[in-house]
Amino acid sequence: MDENDNILEFVGRKIRSLRKSYGLSQDEFAFRCNLDRTYISDIELGKRNISLINIRIISDVLQIHISQLFSGFRKSPYPCQYPYKTNKDFFIRCGFEVNAEDVEYAAIFVSNRLGDLPFTLYQHIDLKTVSSIVGAFFSLSLAERVGAIVNPIEKGHPDIIPIRGKNATEGELRNFPEGLEIKCTIGNVAKGCNSGSGQQRVGSLTGITWQAHHREVNKLMGLVIDFAGKGTADEYFPVITGIFYSDDLEMEDWGEISGTRGRNTKVTGMRSAGKEKMGKGWILLMDHPDYISKYQKLLSFILT
């Protein structure tokens, strides 16, 4: 497949995902675009080279800027310092479509860009904040890649929602019916370990725990990060080292709510049963034996 075919398939898949996020059939979408349904079908299958005029018409109907149809086309604007092993079978529909290639793109893009920031930034913020930054950055990159948007409000759920959510009320955004929740963790280490910012943690990891603000989270994409990117003198930048997914989490997979006093935000940690579900749904792993063996052990799954 040459690059021209590749971009046709990429744009076609994004148009299909955006169309479905509005709940539109091909017939209705074609009618709104004043185009033939078979023409729309060929576009979505990557069989049709779209004219500039029709690209503009389709973008207007989808209420997006033309550039969003091509956002994320390149594999990555940066070389991948560490290769990833991916589960090519991963594919979900959650108001938009996400596959393993989309997840890998966002992971590479974010991991490389984290190395562009001043290292002193990571020395002056705590590890929880580092995780929050990576999670937010990943959500934005993945949303742009698949033709979705980041939930516009701070306490919105889930984190990434279909593009039609941009017209939703604040009340609707607090519990939007479709989308993808993203959580990021840097993992747990034993007390006394030298595992601050810049120090690789995989050898000292004793657990991987994703946290949520309520126990009703039943679908989750969980990121794991470590200080394993570029660096010097044993000080390394953070990168994404693993991504996992489960769509069958239950309330019992989450611990009791804690941290409800004073200024603390209430939070629950995932229990072992939930972690096993996440492990079985692995999407991406840093292709290094230390990470693969450790994550298999802590999340109780076998890489096949």
End residue of a domain, out of 24, 44, 69: 69
Structure confidence by residue, pLDDT tens digits, 211-245: 998 888 999 999 999 998 877 666 889 999 999 99
127 in a structural domain: yes
76 in a structural domain: no
End residue of a domain, out of 46, 69, 92: 69
37 in a structural domain: yes
The percent of residues in the chain predicted with pLDDT above 70, rounded, is 91
185 in a structural domain: yes
At 70 the pLDDT is 82
Are the CB atoms for 274 and 249 separated by under 8 Å? yes
Dihedral sign computed on CA atoms, order 92, 96, 99, 105:
negative
At 17 the pLDDT is 83
Query: What dihedral do alpha carbons 245, 283, 17, 40 form, nearest 10°?
Result: -150
Long-range contacts of the stretch 248-257 (C-beta < 8 A, 24+): 248/218, 248/277, 249/217, 249/218, 249/219, 249/220, 249/274, 249/277, 250/218, 250/274, 251/215, 251/216, 253/277, 254/212, 254/215, 254/217, 257/214, 257/215
38, 102: one domain: no
61, 190: one domain: no
Structure confidence by residue, pLDDT tens digits, 238-259: 999 999 999 999 999 999 888 6
59, 131: one domain: no
250 in a structural domain: yes
At 5 the pLDDT is 56
Per the structure, the count of domains in the chain is 2
Q: Is the pLDDT of residue 3 over 80?
A: no
267, 229: one domain: yes
64, 171: one domain: no
End residue of a domain, out of 36, 69, 102: 69
75 in a structural domain: no
139, 269: one domain: yes
Average pLDDT over residues 89-118: 93
56, 176: one domain: no
Q: Is the pLDDT of residue 39 over 70?
A: yes
User: 30 is written with which tokens?
Assistant: 């074609």
74 in a structural domain: no
The percent of residues in the chain predicted with pLDDT above 90, rounded, is 60
At 119 the pLDDT is 87
260, 196: one domain: yes
142, 211: one domain: yes
Range name among 3-7, 59-63, 177-181, 281-285 with the lowest pLDDT average: 3-7
215, 120: one domain: yes
At 79 the pLDDT is 46
Q: Which domain holds residue 198?
A: 84-299
176, 52: one domain: no
What CATH number did the domain enclosing 25 receive?
A: 1.10.260.40
304 in a structural domain: no
At 286 the pLDDT is 94
Structure confidence by residue, pLDDT tens digits, 66-95: 877 887 675 444 445 668 999 999 999 999
Structure confidence by residue, pLDDT tens digits, 136-162: 999 999 999 998 999 999 889 999 999
Query: Residue 198 and residue 176: Cα distance in Å, rounded?
Result: 37
56, 181: one domain: no
